[in-house]
Amino acid sequence: MTDELTPEERRWLEQVAEEVPPPAELRASVVAGLAAAGAFKRRPPARFHRYRTFAAAAGIALAFLVGGLVGRATAGGPNGAPAPPAAPAGEQFLLLLYEDAAYDAAGRSTDQLVAEYAAWAGQLAAEGRLVAAEKLGEEEGRVVPAGATPAPVATGVLTGFFIVRAPGYAEAARVAQASPHTGYGGRVVVRRIEGT
Amino acid sequence: MSYPDDRAAVTAFLDHRDEAAFDVLYHRHTPRLWGLALRLTGGDEAEAAEVVQEAWLRAVPRLAEFRWESTLGTWLGAFVVNRWRTHRRRQGREVAWDPEAVASLAGSVETPGSGLDVRRALDALPTGYRTVLVLFGIYGYSHDEIAALLGIAPGTSKSQLSRARAALRRSLA
């Protein structure tokens, strides 16, 4: 049989090749991911100039996005989506990701950082550990009562958080230690969430 | 904003990094990428959406590296194929390129010839067969390109195509 397709085969495949419109929500997901990765020109906030961590923050944001996607994909659904992975026993822990002058990812491209954080988030989701993750806004936020001095648990900029499930502090700390964030000198504060 | 061709749209995007220029590229290429992902995943829309999204997220940062030695569509399609392969690896479902693989089609095709039936028959092909047939027969990749994309020998691509055609013909006969 030669590689040349017969007219009948071509007709079959042309029928299949008729383009089916992609789902409308796909564009929004793609654009959000690209925006988070810094693909579009935006004016970076001053604090990110200071710490040169805009790329890392974008990576974190995309990691959250990918983690969320994986989480949804493994959450089971009406259309035969795969069953969720068995969640590890234990409580929920809050992982607060901080960046300060010690954070140094200067030798890594945005793409590399995005891939690393996304892989980590995806792995957590695939293991059933990831409960939630969000990138925090870049503004100062608020402290109450008004005028009170913020009392951060770590210095630097709080750029995001993860909530993971783990049997105890030791395992939660191990998860945090395995993050790309600590590899670049970022700090992760781990706090247990009561009643979970 | 309209651009006469892909090169103009890519240049505009790289120069200005604005969402409007990207939108032109997105709307021009995503229907084809979506179709490719659907066929590679055997019609799994959820997985296809993840594959296409990840393909764009990885392709855009590398647009400046694109040398226009192929069409932009072919280049973007390679990202879809790579992301799909990565998904399968993560799921422990790497494609077996076993030349002895049996083309056992799931279900029968009652009324051969309609697009829906061809699609069902294609989706039911063993993954290796389907992958090569889709890339070669629908998206126009050469055996050398398929071999490079899938990490197989060109001869394997040819043999998979031959078996895929035979299996498809049996299914639609």
Q: Are B40 and B114 found together in one domain?
A: no
**Cis bond leading into A145, ω under 30°?**
yes
- CB-CB under 8 Å, A62 with B35: no
Contact B30 A26 (CB under 8 A): yes
Q: Which of B94, B114, B147 represents a domain boundary (last residue)?
A: B94
* Judgement on whether residues B63 and B121 belong to the same structural domain of the protein: no
d(CA A102, CA A80): 46
> Model-level pTM?
0.56
* Domain harbouring A107, CATH code: 3.30.70.1060
Q: Please give the tally of structural domains in chain B.
A: 2
What number is the ipTM of this complex? 0.83
pLDDT surpasses 80 at A196: no
Shared domain for B156 and B99, answered yes or no, is yes
Cα-Cα-Cα-Cα torsion B144, B145, B151, B152, nearest 10 degrees, comes to -30
Strands A91-99 and A157-166: antiparallel
Rounded Cα distance, A143 and A145, in Å = 6
B127 vs B84: CA distance, rounded Å? 12
Helices (H) then strands (E): counts for chain B: 8, 0
Nearest CA in chain B to A13: B138
Report whether pLDDT(A185) > 50: yes
Is the pLDDT confidence value at B105 over 50? no
User: The domain containing residue A66 runs over which residues?
Assistant: 45-192
CB contact under 8 A, B172 and A39: no
Domain coverage including residue B131: 95-173
Average pLDDT across chain A, whole number: 70
CA pair distance B52, B6, nearest whole angstrom:
19
Q: How confident is the model over A11-61, as pLDDT tens digits?
A: 888 887 766 789 888 888 888 888 877 888 754 433 333 333 444 554 555
Same domain, B86 and B154: no
Q: How does strand A130-135 pair with strand A157-166? A: antiparallel
B84 and B3 within one domain: yes
Model pLDDT for residues A121-136, shown as the tens digit of each residue: 777 877 778 887 766 6
Question: Across the interface, which of B19, B38, B49 has its CB nearest the CB of A40?
Answer: B19
End of a domain among B75, B94, B113? Answer: B94
Is position A87 within any domain? yes
CB contact burial B97-132 (16+ within 10 A = b; e otherwise): beeebeeebeeebeeeeeeebbbbbbbbbbbbbbbb
For residue B66, the SS3 value is: coil
